[in-house]
Amino acid sequence: MNYFDEFYAFINRYFSAGETETVKNQIKQSLASADWEKWNKLIKNLPDISPSAIDLLSDKIIIGKQSDTDSGTLDFLKNSLKQLMPWRKGPFELFGIFIDTEWRSDWKWNRLKDKIKPLEGKTVLDIGSGNGYFALKMLGAGAESVTGLDSYLLYTAQFLSVKKYLGNIPVWVIPLRFENFPLTHEIYDTVFSMGVLYHQKDPLNHLNNIHKLLKPGGELVLETLVINESYSNLLQPKGRYAKMRNVKNIPSISLLKEWLAENMYRDIRLIDVSKTTTGEQRKTEWMEYESFSDFLDPADRTKTIEGYPAPERAIVLAVK
């Protein structure tokens, strides 16, 4: 059974045959690209190396040691992984190869990991999962299974390049938009939506759709850009925000809590507010494009290049 068939078998436990078939067809459409053909071939040609150690709990996702293979094989592996750039979420270390990603995603994970409901034995959904860094952290925290959804196909390829050395694990990063996922069944104990809400034209609908997938008593872990109330209750940028094209709605924390309450969430808790810094998001060897320092006004680093307040992110927990 291949990777996608494993995922179909998982969702078939909960979805009707028709719903599963619809998901299959949408994924097939995503995979029908020259890029996927190229990346899939690259993944299949990655060297077979047995990792002597796996650590999903440290800040880096660590798979194997440098001593597990020879230097020539490691050079080939590194060159292959670089063909899947840019690497944005991480960091990872594969057989001593340090993938220094754009985001220090471990900082975000460390802000929330001890404050959320325990993931031990839980079914988890990770919306906007990227390359699966957080999904693997969730597995390391004891999750029974993790479904990651991200429409950007490269992230599925990156995840599969890492998963090759992890074997048969109940984690999937699927090239599918959350809006195209069936919303008719209460499947998940915990849903993560991190870095997604501010891209939504209708953020209340996003929160409502998550509510439909959560089991009663299940937890939403929501991380999003927020705007200080001294500036506005809701920022809807004209054009770009911090050079991002598709930022639609940045709420204040109080408005965000109102949205959650309107969608029948309870026990709403703010657990963190952090300003993004060049230590947490930056250009690296593995992500060579513009990054956070390029998104700010060079004359006033408290503002974006467009003149809006610089990015600030909040993490809020809520229960169905």
- HEC string of the chain? CCHHHHHHHHHCCCCCHHHHHHHHHHHHHHHCCHHHHHHHHHHHCCCCCCCCCEECCCCCEEECCHHHCCHHHHHHHHHHHHCCCCCCCCCEEECCEEECCCECHHHHHHHHCCCCCCCCCCEEEEECCCCCHHHHHHHHCCCCEEEEECCCHHHHHHHHHHHCCCCCCCEEEECCCHHHCCCCCCCEEEEEEECCHHHCCCHHHHHHHHHHHEEEEEEEEEEEECCCCCCCCEECCCCCECCECCCCCEECHHHHHHHHHHCCCEEEEEEEEEECCCCCECCECCECCCCHHHHEECCEEEEECCCCECCEEEEEEEEC
CA 209 to chain centroid: 18
- Which of 310, 307, 312, 281 lies closest to 107 in space, CA to CA? 281
Q: Is residue 293 part of a domain?
A: no
Q: Is residue 294 part of a domain?
A: no
Q: What number of other Cβ atoms are within 10 A of residue 193's Cβ? A: 21
- Which of 2-16, 92-106, 250-264, 282-296 shows the lowest per-residue confidence on average (mean pLDDT)? 2-16
Q: Which residue matches tokens 């974006």?
A: 304
pTM for the model: 0.97
Domain that holds residue 266: 3-287+301-319
**11-54 pLDDT, tens digit each:** 999 999 999 999 999 999 999 999 999 999 999 999 999 999 99
- Report the mean per-residue pLDDT for the chain: 97
Q: Is residue 190 part of a domain?
A: yes
**185-223 pLDDT, tens digit each:** 999 999 999 999 999 999 999 999 999 999 999 999 999
* pLDDT mean over 83-102: 98
* pLDDT mean over 295-318: 98
* pLDDT mean over 144-156: 98
**46-82 pLDDT, tens digit each:** 999 999 999 999 999 999 999 999 999 999 999 999 9
CATH of the domain at 224: 3.40.50.150
Res. 109: pLDDT tops 90: yes
Q: Is residue 94 part of a domain?
A: yes
Q: Is residue 295 part of a domain?
A: no
**172-190 pLDDT, tens digit each:** 999 999 999 999 899 999 9
- Do 168 and 139 meet the contact criterion of CB atoms below 8 Å apart? no
Res. 1: pLDDT tops 90: no
Domains contained in the chain, number: 1
